[in-house]
Chain A
Amino acid sequence: MTMQITIKQKVYPAQGGAPARVLFENLSFDLADGEVCAIVGPSGIGKSSLLQIVAGLDTDFDGSITGLRQPVGYLFQTPRLLPWRTARRNLELVIPDRPGRAVEWLAQVGLAGSEDAYPQRLSLGMARRVALARALTIEPKLLLLDEPFASLDEETSREMQDLVAIHVRKLCPTTLLVTHHWHEAAALAQRVITLGGSPTRIVDDRLLQRSKAAE
């Protein structure tokens, strides 16, 4: 079933000195099953807010999400691991019925040996890999990636991209990838939606021609 995201309007209410602001107006798009779609656009345009709405974390908008695929794997912009639980426990929490897989997944993202480390002991790159493992270990039908490669050094960023590419290909979840780097979008996605304007709307929506060799 196709996912349909329809946002007639999303308003940020006035807060402090800032006046109310219309963030999205008439922003709609469909996502086919297993489609990997990148969302690009300048910062502050509402890319993360859009993911929050798609994930169902923000329901305060006029519009609807239909055909939401479950379960949802969500890689937030910051890793958001529970700091008081070890890497292993952070994973076990999302797969309570098969906790044994936590260690396997940590090994898959290159963190064998760090299972019992608390998140504060991990570097940002490592923490984000744990968060990625958490998002993938539930075998998501919908995968939301919020700038997964930002503020990582080049090598770590490259490794993360490979990891995401491999597992997205293996699990085939419908994927929304938020980024502001066109080359990241091009490397992973079949389709790129560009956001712009104020209020934010879709300014470009295109399918990428991909050679089989690139796959």
Chain B
Amino acid sequence: MRAAGAERKETWQEIASILLLLSLWQIGAGLAESRLFPGPLMVLQSLMHEAIGGPLFHHLGITLARVGTSFVIAMVVGTALGIALGRLQWLDRWLNPWLVILLNLPALVVIILTYVWLGLIETALLVAVALNKIPNVAVTLREGARALDRDYTDVAQVYRFGLWTTLREVIVPQLAPYLLAAARNGLALVWKIVLVVELLGRSNGIGFQLQSYFQLFDVPRVMAYAAAFVLCALLIEIVLFAPLERRSGQWRR
């Protein structure tokens, strides 16, 4: 009961914190009295306008699909690569320099080069985003794979768990915190990059819309599109990441 009470209190604090931010924003906008710094109410108005009968959902859907696809590609490839690097020292010695280079290559350069080499097509977008994200996932999961505890693998071997059970019961639980960290950072990074890629070379999606409204200096609409995506990200956090984290961490304490 005490835990439930504490949790409720924390939830209220979070909501209050968001309300405080919105009020500060509204007050600031009121003081500025500028078309270029709209308050939350005005942004909400634009959001409703774009959503109801406007093109918001069309572009949001396209962007979400792109984010989802490239996120999955990056997570799968990055995880496999990271685990391989964590377990095989010789491979790590060979690939680590490449990884460092990729990690530090500006996202923009990767985007421009993939567009130049592959053309202004959907595949180029997915490749560009995945290339930007894979090194992060790989580095995180490499740490996870290095931290795998031999003690538990020994147990699996003695008691003949078999490959599938070992993976599900022994390996994945140990990697879960790393997977979650990579997924959280991943989602945040991927959607930011997707917008840039859209802005540079696609004719739909939120990035493209932002570009159009930027040219019109239509700040409320720019903010409305950003808000729509932030809401989606929040929703994913609430319905997906937070429960997963609770579930994977319930044995601690």
Cβ-based interface call for B173 (8 A)? yes
Q: Tell me whether B173 and A80 are in contact (CB under 8 A).
A: no
Q: Are B251 and A84 in contact (CB under 8 A)?
A: yes
User: How long is the Cα–Cα vector from A118 to B249 in the complex, in angstroms?
Assistant: 11
Does A21 sit at the interface, judged by CB under 8 A? no
Q: Known: A93-B169, A118-B251. Contact between A82 and B161, CB under 8 A?
A: no
Is the beta-carbon distance between A78 and B251 smaller than 8 angstroms? Answer: no
Kindly state whether residue A94 has any CB partner on chain B within 8 Å.
Answer: yes
Please judge, given known A-B contacts A84-B251, A120-B252, whether A57 and B158 are in contact too, CB under 8 Å: yes
Taking CB atoms, residues of chain B closer than 8 Å to A82 are: 152, 155, 169-170, 173
Q: Mark A69-84, 1 if CB is under 8 A from B, else 0.
A: 0011010101010111
Partner of B161, one of A57, A83, A93: A93
Number of residues of chain A lying within 8 A (CB) of chain B: 22
B residues in contact with A10, CB < 8 Å? none
CB distance from B25 to the nearest CB of A (A): 42
Query: Could you say which residues of chain B place their CB within 8 Å of the CB of A83?
Result: 251
Interface string of A33-59 (1 = CB under 8 A from B): 000000000000000000010011100
Knowing A55-B158, A78-B151, A94-B159, say if A120 contacts B173 (CB, 8 Å): no
In the bound complex, residues from chain A placing their C-beta under 8 Å from that of B154 are 52, 57, 76, 80
Q: Which B residues lie within 8 Å of A128 (CB)? A: none
Residues of A within 8 A of B170 (CB): 82
B93 within 8 A of A: no
Q: Which residues in chain B, 181-220, are within 8 Å of chain A measured between CB atoms?
A: none
Some 9 contacts from A to B, beta carbons below 8 A apart, are A57-B158, A76-B155, A80-B155, A82-B155, A85-B173, A93-B159, A93-B165, A93-B169, A94-B159
Q: A76-B155, A80-B151, A94-B159 are in contact. List 5 more A-B contacts (CB 8 A).
A: A82-B169, A82-B173, A84-B173, A93-B165, A120-B252
Top-9 shortest CB links A-B: A118-B251, A84-B173, A94-B159, A84-B251, A74-B158, A80-B151, A57-B154, A80-B155, A72-B158
